[in-house]
Structure 1
Amino acid sequence: GTSVAVQAAAETAKKVTVGTVQKIQESAQTATAVHAHDMARAAQQHVANKTKDVPATDAKGLPKILMAIWIGMVVLLLVFSNSFGSLASSAGRAINLNDRVESYRASITYWAQKDGIPEYVEVLLALCMAETGILDDPEDPFACSESGLAVKQPNGITDPEYSIEIGVYCFSLKVKKTGCKSPADKNNLFKALQAYNMGDGFIDFCDTYYSGVWSVECARAYSKKMGGGSTYGNPNYIEQFLRCYTFGTISGTYPGSLNAHGLCAPLEPGWEQNITQHFGGMYSGSPHKGMDIGMPEGTPVYAAADGKVTVANASDSWGYSWGYYVKINHAEGVDTLYAHLSSVAVSYGQYVHQGDVIGYVGSTGNSSGNHLHFELYLENNRVDPYPYIGTDLLSKYLERVF
Structure 2
Amino acid sequence: MKLIYLVLDGVADNPADGVTSLEASNHPALDELARKSRAGLMYTIGRGVAPESDAAVISILGYNPHEEYTGRGPLEAMGAGLSIREGYEVAFRANFATVDPDTLRIIDRRCGRNLTSEEARELARALDGVELGAYDAYARVVATVGHRAVVVIGSRSFKLSDAVDNTDPAYSKQGYVSVARREFEPFIAKAKPLEPTEEAMRTAELVDAFTRLAVSTLRDHPVNVRRQREGKLPANAILLRDSGGRLPRLQPISERYGLRFGAVAEMPVEIGIARVLKMDVEAVPPPTGDKKADYRARLEATRRLLERNDAVYVHLKGPDEPGHDGDFKAKVESIEAIDAYYVSPLLELVEEEQAAVIVTADHATPYTRKTHTDDPVPLILYHHRLRPDGLERFTEKECSKGSLGVLQHGWEMLPRVMRELREKA
Query: Fold match, TM over 0.5?
Result: no
- Using the size of structure 2 for normalisation, the TM-score is 0.25
Structure number with larger C-alpha Rg: 1
- Using the size of structure 1 for normalisation, the TM-score is 0.26
Q: Which has the higher contact order (CA 8 A, sep 6+)?
A: 2
Relative to its length, the structure with more strand (as a share) is 2
Relative to its length, the structure with more helix (as a share) is 1
